[in-house]
Amino acid sequence: MEMQYKERSYGHMENGGGARRTRTDLMVRFLALGLTLAAAVVLGLNKQTTTVNVTIAPTLPPVSLPVTAKWLHMSAMVYFVIVNAIVCSYTTVSLILTLVTKNGNKNVSLMIAILDLVMVALLFSAIGATGAVGLIGYKGNSHVQWGKVCDVFDKFCHRVAVSMVLSFLGSMAYVLLAVLATFNAYTKF
Amino acid sequence: MEMQYKERSYGHMENGGGARRTRTDLMVRFLALGLTLAAAVVLGLNKQTTTVNVTIAPTLPPVSLPVTAKWLHMSAMVYFVIVNAIVCSYTTVSLILTLVTKNGNKNVSLMIAILDLVMVALLFSAIGATGAVGLIGYKGNSHVQWGKVCDVFDKFCHRVAVSMVLSFLGSMAYVLLAVLATFNAYTKF
């Protein structure tokens, strides 16, 4: 009887709700791929050079010096770009696996579901890190005397914000994938 | 036949592997409760007052001034304490629900599985945020002229690190809960 039940379940998966679920999974996964790729590229190519006035001696007029803001200058942003690149690469592999197996292989589906969860954790830690540093860059912190820098590097900060929104949407796509996987697994009780 | 299968599945859950799974879930949940509570308390009670030498005028000797480091001075740390308090409260509610229903109610189990996922996202974003700010506090960042502060507030920084380790272990407990829920749901195919 159990065998018959299993066969019926898989049959249902392939032809009815399962196929629809696979399509939804693929669409959300494509979306996550595009969003995390865009987030990594936007921040990875982010660079702004501007001039600041520096006073060398009180008797001399201030000197204009060029300064450059790069994502490589801040550990949180390096972590953000690496995480989004990892998630983007994993999404490509998971897309291929989903397309090849069409969710018919239980072990592959389970592995993907667990790795999706790891991606959620990685993405949220990267967003938290960049968000915290970005907020100090935008507002500064007088308690530790960390001055704001977004008034000088306005375009750079704007692109960081865009990149964070893209990555947040990508992470929400992964949350949706994990919720869908949990929901689908539970409705098979 | 489907009805018979369902009855058999639930019977198996209550008496055999299911009961063992519930015990594991409860143990990991208790662990997560203790860890997130400890993380919130350690950082929430964290405060260090020390003296720094300030030069008011070049002709006068430096003056010693008291300065205090508090978690309330840094947005990332406020977010960290709030998130750990939320997770701690939710864990208590989920523990009561798990004990009351003993995983017999499918809708409650599904709701808990989805909310567990939200806790993973919240915890990792908070750890990322505090980690990024903590790293700058420890090493400083010459590119944006944010000086390190952990040489002055050594005890404060040490307790931030302890709190982060506790919260990270709590988040790993939540990852384990989510992995277990996914694994259990998939093995019921």
pLDDT in tens, B3-52: 444 444 433 444 455 667 678 899 999 999 999 999 999 999 999 998 88
* Chain A residues within 8 A of B1 when measuring between CB atoms: 1, 4-5
When pLDDT is averaged across residues B136-148 and rounded to a whole number, the result is: 94
pLDDT band per the 50, 70, 90 thresholds, residue A1: very low
Whole-angstrom distance, CA of residue A146 vs CA of residue A126: 21
Q: Name the residue of chain A whose CA is nearest to B80's CA.
A: A128
Tell me the ipTM for this assembly. Answer: 0.86
pLDDT score at B94: 95
Q: Do B129 and A126 touch (CB under 8 A)?
A: no
* Chain B residues within 8 A of A120 when measuring between CB atoms: 117, 120-121, 124
Q: Contact B125/A128 with Cβ under 8 angstroms? A: yes
Secondary-structure percent of chain A, ordered helix, strand, coil, rounded to 5: 75, 10, 15
pLDDT reading at A110 higher than 50: yes
Which tokens belong to A85? 């690149």
Q: Do A69 and B2 touch (CB under 8 A)?
A: no
Q: Which of B69, B109, B125 sits opposite A128 (nearest CB)?
A: B125
Exposure class string for A86-112: b at 16+ Cβ within 10 A, else e: bbbebbeebbebbeeeebeeeebbbeb
Percentage above 70 pLDDT, chain B: 86
Whole-angstrom distance, CA of residue B133 vs CA of residue B83: 16
Measure A130 CA to nearest chain B CA, in Å: 7
What is the pTM for the complete model shown? 0.87
Angle, CA B16 vertex, CA B175 and CA B117 arms, to 5°? 15
Average model confidence (pLDDT) for chain B?
87
DSSP secondary-structure letter at A16? S
pLDDT score at B17: 58
Question: Given the structure tokens 């384990």, which residue do they identify?
Answer: B176
Q: Name the residue of chain A whose CA is nearest to B181's CA.
A: A182
Q: Which of A73, A146, A185 sits opposite B185 (nearest CB)?
A: A185
Q: Do A186 and B106 touch (CB under 8 A)?
A: yes
Q: Do A117 and B117 touch (CB under 8 A)?
A: yes
Q: Do A132 and B73 touch (CB under 8 A)?
A: no
| Long-range contacts from B64-70, C-beta under 8 angstroms, 24+ separation | B67/B152, B69/A143, B69/B149, B69/B153, B69/B156, B70/B46
Angle, CA A119 vertex, CA A116 and CA A121 arms, to 5°? 115
Helix (H) or strand (E) holding A82: helix A75-101
